[in-house]
A and B are shown apart, each in its own frame.
Chain A
């Protein structure tokens, strides 16, 4: 157990809808990263939040957006869902410091778009 939690566990949405996924980071961590893992693939970096500001973004369109709250929990929002958005969404928390860099992952949210 890493102490990182995600909700919901599973989600089924229809194409065109909007979805919000949630992540609670490990205690003491100030950074949250989101990844998309398509079936049979490695995770792909979506974006990262550090102290409530976006701090880096992967090759994902603007309909993927996020938030980080003062308690360092985070949300991933996806608008106008497409079939290809079906994937496992992983969040990872870390403590950004000069000596710490490891990311700890949550169990993921499985999103199915029909």
Chain B
């Protein structure tokens, strides 16, 4: 079974600053995907960024980037030039590459961007 751990229940940062959210996971699988989802107060879970485990290059989507360390089973999210709209719960999630597309989520980090 897979587990995902997010050790930072809450974080806050000033607008325009950079923040890094941590995530570690445990699995015996070799092929898998990792995701960061954002859940604003509206409740809709929005995909922020994804990483295929077989890719060594870290994924980047505009202001969002990840630091994927496969050997350490670490998958952190960096948000650059943070904006007020980034305020939300952020969930790290794991999915095996083969098999049903079950997502295993961490407990989340509540991020607040301070004006």
Is residue A48 within 8 Å, beta carbon to beta carbon, of the partner chain? Answer: yes
Question: Hey, which chain A residues are within 8 Å of B35, CB to CB?
Answer: 102
Is residue B84 within 8 Å, beta carbon to beta carbon, of the partner chain? Answer: no
Q: Is the CB of B43 within 8 A of A108?
A: yes
Q: Is the CB of A88 within 8 A of B43?
A: yes
**Most chain A CB neighbours (cut-off 10 Å) among B4, B42, B102:** B102
Question: Hey, which chain A residues are within 8 Å of B11, CB to CB?
Answer: none
Stretch of A16-24, A39-47, A63-71 contacting B (4+ beta carbons < 8 Å): A39-47
Q: Is the CB of A96 within 8 A of B101?
A: yes
Question: Hey, which chain B residues are within 8 Å of A50, CB to CB?
Answer: 100
Q: Is the CB of A33 within 8 A of B107?
A: no
Q: Is the CB of A102 within 8 A of B47?
A: yes
A86-105 vs B, CB cutoff 8 Å, 1 = contact: the mask equals: 00101010101000011111
Cα(A40)–Cα(B43), bound, Å: 12
Is residue A8 within 8 Å, beta carbon to beta carbon, of the partner chain? Answer: no
Cα(A101)–Cα(B100), bound, Å: 10
Considering only residues 1-59 of chain A, those with a C-beta below 8 Å from chain B are 2, 31, 33, 35, 40-45, 48, 50, 55-56, 58
How extensive is the interface on chain A, given as a class?
A: 20 to 34
Contact residues of A: prevailing secondary structure: strand
Q: Is the CB of A56 within 8 A of B108?
A: no
Cα(A50)–Cα(B105), bound, Å: 21
CB distance from A31 to the nearest CB of B (A): 6
Question: Hey, which chain A residues are within 8 Å of B45, CB to CB?
Answer: 43, 90, 92, 105
Q: Is the CB of B47 within 8 A of A104?
A: yes
B102 touches which one: A42, A48, A96, A106 (CB < 8 A)?
A48
Cα(A40)–Cα(B107), bound, Å: 8
Say whether, besides A42-B106, A42-B108, A103 and B44 are in contact (CB < 8 Å). Answer: no
6 smallest beta-carbon distances between A and B, as pairs = A42-B105, A56-B100, A105-B45, A107-B44, A45-B102, A108-B43
Question: Which residues of A pack against B, CB within 8 Å?
Answer: 2, 31, 33, 35, 40-45, 48, 50, 55-56, 58, 88, 90, 92, 94, 96, 101-108, 110
Query: What are 8 contact pairs spanning A and B, CB under 8 A?
Result: A31-B101, A40-B107, A42-B105, A45-B102, A48-B101, A48-B102, A103-B101, A107-B43
